[in-house]
């Protein structure tokens, strides 16, 4: 990996995650290296099974790596173990996953879901501070706090559930949002709303976003930088215009060709 640029928010250096052993060893993430700057939207794009979601889980410290290094804000966070250290990391790095149905505990109201995330804060917030923070986050994603705070998962549409999940991440004001296929399980109207919302969050708050998708058209729409993942490796990286117009790796060329052929048939 090249030396990190000054002020890089996230540096990933030869990060690996394997499963199994011997002949059954699977290299889900295989020496992946990249970096992100503050306010950047980088997109990891690749077909199902390429290792994208495993990469997200490792970066979120939900599963440990088997090699390499993660540096966030200049600090090595690869092997954080103490609960207080992980809580501090999760204040800065939040996630939105593809399935708002399973991410949203059906026995919790929206207020309780957001409140649990506020528990990551370093100090205990007052009731008024908690209410103000929840209202702020819900308004940012286009939801009326009075209308949704008391509702349960089944009382919301799929698009509303996903916006609640974005508000849940936003409520602690993270510096990096990992969005793993956040539009896969919502309808077309909600998909456009969520994509534009993510772009607005970057513009308004300078939030960096790592957007993970198998959809080439979405990748080119939302991102500054493309990271093409194939069989656990980043096989191509660069700004959207360069990778779109002059893809270098055979897999990238095939990925874009397949996407454009499908679009023409549609």
pLDDT, tens only, 159-179: 899 899 999 999 999 999 999
Q: What is the residue range of 108's domain? A: 10-265
* The pLDDT value given to residue 1: 31
Q: Confirm whether 39 is domain-assigned.
A: yes
- Residue 200, in any domain of the structure: yes
Going by pLDDT thresholds of 50, 70 and 90, the confidence category of residue 4 is very low
What is the predicted pLDDT for the residue at 9?
96
The pLDDT assigned to 70 comes to 97
Q: Write the CATH number for 184.
A: 3.40.50.300
Mean pLDDT of all residues in 75-89: 92
CA 266 to chain CA mean position, Å: 28
Give me the chain's average pLDDT, please.
89
Residue 74's pLDDT band, with cuts at 50, 70 and 90, is very high
Run of H or E including 192: helix 188-205
Look at residue 256 and tell me whether its pLDDT is greater than 90.
no
Percent share of the chain, pLDDT over 70: 94
pTM for the predicted model, two decimal places: 0.90
Whether 43 and 226 have beta carbons less than 8 Å apart is answered as yes
- In a domain, residue 4? The reply is no
Please report the pLDDT score of residue 6 as a whole number: 57
Q: How confident is the model at residue 3 (pLDDT cuts 50, 70, 90)?
A: very low
Instruction: For strands 10-19 and 67-72, give the pairing.
Output: antiparallel
Q: What is the pLDDT of residue 218?
A: 87
Tokens 């995650």, residue?
17
Mean pLDDT for the stretch of residues 6-23:
91
Q: Which two tokens stand for residue 227?
A: 């990271």
Q: Examine residue 25 and state whether it is found in any structural domain, yes or no.
A: yes
Q: Return contacts of 241-245, CB within 8 angstroms, 24+ apart.
A: 244/220
What local confidence, expressed as pLDDT, does residue 264 receive? 46
Q: What is the structure's pLDDT at 261?
A: 54
User: Does residue 3 lie in a domain region?
Assistant: no
265 has pLDDT over 50: no
| pLDDT score for 262 | 46
- Find all residues with CB under 8 Å of 238, minimum gap 6, and list them: 225, 226
| Residue 18 domain-assigned (yes or no) | yes
Instruction: Judge contact between 172 and 91, C-beta under 8 A.
Output: yes
pLDDT at 142 over 60: yes
Higher pLDDT residue, 259 or 7?
7
pLDDT at 260 over 90: no
Give the confidence band of 2 by pLDDT, cuts at 50, 70, 90: very low
- Looking at the domain assignment, is residue 1 inside a domain? no
Is residue 65 situated within a structural domain? yes
- Give how many domains the chain has, as a whole number: 1
CB-based contact 180:213 (threshold 8 Å): no
């Amino acid at each position: 990996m090249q030396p990190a640029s000054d002020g890089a928010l996230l540096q990933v250096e030869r990060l690996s995650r394997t499963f199994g052993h011997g002949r059954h060893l699977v290299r889900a993430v295989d020496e992946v290296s990249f970096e992100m700057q503050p306010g950047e939207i980088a997109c990891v794009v690749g077909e199902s099974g390429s290792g994208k979601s495993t990469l997200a889980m490792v970066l979120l410290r939900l599963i440990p790596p088997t090699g390499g290094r993660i540096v966030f804000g200049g600090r090595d966070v690869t092997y954080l173990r103490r609960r207080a250290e992980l809580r501090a990391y999760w204040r800065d790095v939040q996630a939105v996953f593809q399935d708002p149905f399973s991410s949203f505990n059906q026995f919790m109201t929206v207020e309780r879901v957001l409140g649990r995330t506020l528990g990551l804060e370093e100090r205990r917030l007052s009731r008024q501070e908690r209410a103000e923070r929840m209202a702020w986050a819900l308004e940012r994603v286009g939801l009326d706090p009075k209308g949704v705070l008391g509702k349960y998962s089944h009382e919301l549409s799929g698009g509303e559930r996903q916006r609640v999940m974005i508000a849940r991440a936003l409520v602690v004001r993270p510096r990096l949002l990992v969005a793993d296929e956040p539009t896969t399980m919502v309808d077309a109207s909600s998909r456009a709303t969520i994509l534009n919302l993510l772009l607005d969050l970057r513009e308004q708050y300078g939030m960096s976003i790592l957007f993970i998708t198998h959809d080439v058209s979405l990748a080119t729409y939302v991102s500054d930088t493309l990271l093409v993942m194939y069989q656990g490796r980043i096989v191509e990286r660069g700004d959207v215009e360069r990778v779109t117009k002059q893809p270098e790796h055979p897999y990238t060329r095939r990925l874009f060709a397949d996407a454009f052929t499908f679009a023409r048939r549609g």
